[in-house]
Structure 1
Amino acid sequence: MARILIAEDEEPLRGLVARALNEDGHEVVATADGAAALDTLQREAGRFDLLLADIKMPVMDGLALALATARDFPRLPILLMTGFADQRERASGLEALVSDVISKPFSVAEIKFAVAAALAKGKK
């Protein structure tokens, strides 16, 4: 299965998504913000199959993380999450870099489906 890096500042949601993806057999590394996720990516030399990041986070938001990831690890698929319409609009210019933007709140089934779709798209 895939190795997935999660960047989500809300601990309950981060835990829920990590558990859901673990259930599907994925190896999950979870971080609390974009800066921690970027540090992890650099320390691990980009050895992940997917970056799943919230857009609105402290320290470094998901859009800045997506841009840095695309620059440093251009083959790494990126899936963004947001509960804010204005944040979704900010991400609309990144279609070339981002597989999709999933709206919060989402169900466990929806996040699993979005991750599977992003992983499938990333293998092409």
Structure 2
Amino acid sequence: MIKFRLLLWALSLLMKKGAKNNPDFRKQLQGKDFAFQLQTADGGIVRQFVIKDEKVKSKGKSHPEPAFTISFKDADTGLAILTSKDKNAFMKGIQDKDIQISGDLSLVMWFQGITKYLKPKKKK
């Protein structure tokens, strides 16, 4: 449970850092103005992400009007899927009903597209 909460917090740090230091990531934020949240299905763990003015803000509580919400069956499932090396883990999670998505699916696709900018750079 703690690990999932830490993972969401780390994700917020990576997004904030990317918005500051990565021009490719910043391009993905251009013109975006919305909030989304990642959480456990029971709402016990939730983190909101607000995208506005090419910046990312985040809080460890729910947003009143998220554009989309990704809910994981539980903290362990969320941790396993978000840290999986399997590119299909997310889609499999949806098919297995371990992930519920509500809201704007085009923005969910946008979110999946930006995650490639958040992976740590491999040392050469």
TM-score, with length taken from structure 2: 0.32
Given the two structures, how large is their TM-score scaled by the length of structure 1? 0.32
